[in-house]
A and B are shown apart, each in its own frame.
Chain A
Amino acid sequence: MSTRTDTPLRSHEEIVARVKALEALMIEKGVMTTDAVDRLAEVYENEVGPQLGAKVVARAWTDPAFKQRLLDDATGACAELGIGGLQGEDMIVVENTDDVHNAIVCTLCSCYPWPVLGLPPNWYKAPAYRSRMVREPRTVLADDFDFTVGDDVEIRVWDSSSELRYWVLPQRPKGTDDMSEAELAELVTRDSMIGVGPAGEPSQT
């Protein structure tokens, strides 16, 4: 009994707004809770996307010229690998070194480089992460993510907006000299590209 048989296809902007509006209405009416929607979404959020970012990171680890292009112009370097899709929005990749560790946040909402990292995890959108990560990043990383950054390392936190989105180039783990680009990509986790964890260690075989 649809009343919408002749509705033309909508613009991208309109469908995004319609889904938001529908969620807001349903929650106001008590049809469902935000928590329930979040929990269901969480099942999928790690299945999409981060592999694309992982490919880019593995390329940067193995190809110094590519890495330089990535740090100079992340949007362009990702496009070389056929990765992108944000319209008119810039990405900047910040590199972790022995002296500097980077992490990303969106202080106001949930801006996130999703064409590269997939869908943002729920905690990224939560007010707790958004405010505490700015106030006490070292403590948040240690307490919430079990990730201790040495006190000889500076931590920089970058605020993504809808105009400019950051993500992190993690350090290449030690003992990976013999690994192929594809093997390296498997070590790159979503969390390491947000900056709340290290890249994985190679398994001992």
Chain B
Amino acid sequence: MRSDASQLAEARLQLKTLISDLPKGGPAEQAFEEPWQLRAFAMAVAAHQEGHYDWTDFQSSLSASIRRWEESGQQSWSYYEHWVNALETVLGSSGALADPLALNDRTRETMATPVDKDHHEAHREPVAVSPATR
């Protein structure tokens, strides 16, 4: 069920190298605040490790997205929103995400059907009890 410690340590070392040269405010300096941020982070590294793009291309796409934000004068800041922009850009260039409209459609579908659509109800009793036997 769980990866062993040496696998984790090795992955950690590889990640350290990858994240050491990213724009400020990223995973080298600050903890992930929400699950989607970590997911987006891991997806970008996984697709790179599968050989879909060079890490330097991802880095420059990320910098470019941040630069556009600076130039636009927008107030609200989300590092990982730029991260997602950059991921879409490099996947688009590599051909892995050839049709950007497919992503828009899928996003709308996802919003219309949350994964936990059946799980909004609060469960106020234990779902299982294993009684003491002695």
Task: Give chain A nearest CB distance to B133 CB in angstroms.
Answer: 5
- CB of A118, distance to nearest CB on chain B (Å): 8
Given the complex, which residues of A lie within 8 Å of B42, measured CB to CB? 37-38, 40-41
Say whether B132 contacts A13, CB under 8 Å.
no
B50 → chain A, closest Cβ, in Å? 5
Evaluate contact between A164 and B122: CB separation under 8 angstroms. yes
Instruction: Judge whether B66 is part of the interface by a CB distance below 8 angstroms.
Output: no
Q: Is the CB–CB distance between A135 and B36 below 8 Å? A: no
- Check if A29 sits within 8 Å of B85, measured CB to CB: no
Check: B74 CB closer than 8 A to any chain A CB: yes
Closest Cβ–Cβ distance, residue B89 to chain A (whole Å): 5
Total contacting residues, chain B, CB less than 8 A: 74
Interface string of B27-61 (1 = CB under 8 A from A): 10001111110111111011101101000000001
Of A3, A18, A150, which contacts B107 at CB under 8 A? A18
Provide the bound-state CA to CA distance between A158 and B130, in Å: 12
| A6 shortest CB reach to chain B, Å | 8
Q: Tell me whether A44 and B32 are in contact in the complex, defined as CB-CB below 8 angstroms, given that A21-B107, A134-B128 are known contacts.
A: yes
- Cα of A161 to Cα of B96 in the assembled complex, Å: 35
**Main SS of chain A's interface residues?**
mixed
User: From residue A93, how far is it (CB to closest CB) to chain B in Å?
Assistant: 14
B-chain residues with CB within 8 Å of residue A4 when the two chains form the complex: 85, 88-89
Q: Is the CB of B12 within 8 A of A161?
A: no
Contact with B along A19-58 (1 / 0, CB 8 A): 1111111100101110011111111110111000000000
Which A-B residue pairs are the 4 nearest by beta carbons? A164-B122, A21-B106, A40-B42, A159-B127
**A–B complex contacts, Cβ < 8 Å, 29 sampled:** A4-B88, A9-B74, A9-B81, A14-B107, A15-B36, A16-B36, A19-B36, A22-B87, A24-B110, A33-B46, A36-B46, A37-B46, A41-B41, A43-B15, A44-B38, A48-B32, A107-B127, A109-B115, A109-B116, A114-B34, A121-B2, A137-B130, A152-B132, A152-B134, A155-B130, A157-B127, A161-B119, A161-B122, A162-B116
